[in-house]
């Protein structure tokens, strides 16, 4: 094959490759298609804009499944950092905060360290707990449960029971997608923990970047009306924005920040 291979043919082959594998690397696809890495990168960017794939660091994953935590952490870094900083600004000194496992929530944890307020954080996320561990102002309570290596957190009945022992001022959760019905997730175990946190918090806040809008996955976490606010980097389309407003959910937009990865 050559660089002259038509764009639509290349992209169909990339999508077909993702149907057989959870993720692809740019370098690998360039070799398979006998094209440059820049050509594959442009194809992946185009497929991402069309909602057919999800970009990861150095490659892409199928939009029908959720890439592993390590891959998600390299996606939309600038947007997630902005969302994390804006979410952290909502937290008041002395608050008790629940944070579930998710790549955007690690950016929230980093922003909380920068603010260095005296707060208590309850989390099931290895990434969040590790980020907060060396900040003396922040008390960290780590949930019990079964380790999920793919998601870098703990889940299960023990996790839900642990969360249920506490009251929180804020619960910050992530999700695989957000539709007019509510946030959705590919992991049932994660959805149960998210629900438990939402039930125990005075304010329930969803953190999602714009790539999650309109994505419907396996399990509905909760109706929109169960959320207090959504923090994102962009406003969703008119239909979803209208449903958020009708459900009494505040839409909080994060101003852009410089990316450390830029």
Helices 26-33, 7-20: axis angle to 10 degrees equals 120
Helices 103-115, 77-88: axis angle to 10 degrees equals 50
Whether pTM > 0.95 for this model: the answer is no
Coil, helix or strand for 128? Answer: helix
Q: What is the pLDDT of residue 95?
A: 98
CA-based angle 128:133:137, to the nearest 5?
Answer: 110
> In this structure, what DSSP letter does residue 126 have?
H
**Residue extents of the structural domains in the chain:** 7-65, 77-253
C-alpha span between 187 and 69 (Å, rounded): 12
* Tokens coding 260: 């450390």
Find the farthest-apart pair of alpha carbons in the chain and give their distance in angstroms, rounded.
62
Closest by CA position to 214, among listed 180, 247, 174, 248: 180
- Tell me whether the CATH fold assigned to 7-65 matches the one assigned to 77-253: no
Q: What does the DSSP assignment read for 234-258? A: S---HHHHHHHHHTTPEEEEPPP--
> In this structure, what DSSP letter does residue 181 have?
S
| CATH number belonging to domain 77-253 | 3.40.50.10470
Radius of gyration, alpha carbons of the chain: 19
pLDDT-flagged residues of the chain (< 70): 1-5, 19-22, 57, 62-76, 257-262
| CATH number belonging to domain 7-65 | 1.10.10.10
- Per-residue pLDDT tens over the stretch 220-248: 999 999 999 999 999 999 999 999 999 99
Beta bridge partners of 173: 206
C-alpha span between 240 and 208 (Å, rounded): 13
Q: What is each CA distance from 55 to 49, 73, 76, 81, in whole angstroms?
A: 10, 11, 8, 17
Closest by CA position to 172, among listed 233, 111, 108: 108
Count of Cβ atoms closer than 10 Å to residue 209 Cβ = 22
C-alpha span between 31 and 40 (Å, rounded): 10
C-alpha span between 150 and 232 (Å, rounded): 24
C-alpha span between 20 and 139 (Å, rounded): 44
C-alpha span between 19 and 151 (Å, rounded): 21
């Amino acid at each position: 094959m050559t660089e002259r291979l038509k764009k639509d043919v290349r992209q169909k082959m990339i999508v077909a490759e993702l149907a057989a594998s959870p993720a692809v690397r740019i370098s690998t696809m360039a070799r398979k298609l006998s094209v440059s890495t820049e050509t594959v990168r442009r194809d992946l960017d185009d497929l991402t804009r069309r909602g057919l794939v999800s970009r990861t660091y150095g490659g892409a994953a199928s939009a029908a499944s959720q890439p592993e935590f390590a891959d998600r952490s390299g996606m939309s870094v600038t947007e997630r950092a902005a969302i994390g900083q804006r979410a952290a600004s909502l937290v008041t000194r002395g608050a008790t905060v629940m944070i579930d496992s998710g790549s955007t929530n690690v950016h929230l944890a980093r922003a909380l360290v920068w603010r260095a307020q005296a707060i208590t954080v309850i989390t099931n996320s290895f990434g969040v707990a590790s980020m907060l561990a060396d900040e003396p102002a922040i008390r960290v309570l780590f949930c019990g449960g079964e380790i999920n290596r793919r998601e870098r957190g703990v889940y299960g009945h023990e996790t839900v029971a642990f969360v249920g022992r506490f009251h929180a001022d804020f619960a910050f959760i992530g999700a695989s997608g957000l539709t007019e019905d509510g946030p959705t997730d590919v992991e049932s175990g994660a959805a149960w923990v998210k629900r438990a946190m939402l039930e125990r918090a005075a304010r329930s806040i969803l953190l999602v970047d714009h790539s999650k809008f309109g994505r419907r996955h396996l399990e509905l976490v909760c109706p929109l009306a169960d959320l207090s606010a959504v923090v994102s980097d962009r406003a969703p389309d008119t239909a979803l924005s209208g449903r958020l407003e009708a459900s009494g959910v505040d839409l909080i937009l994060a101003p852009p920040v410089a990316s450390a990865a830029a």
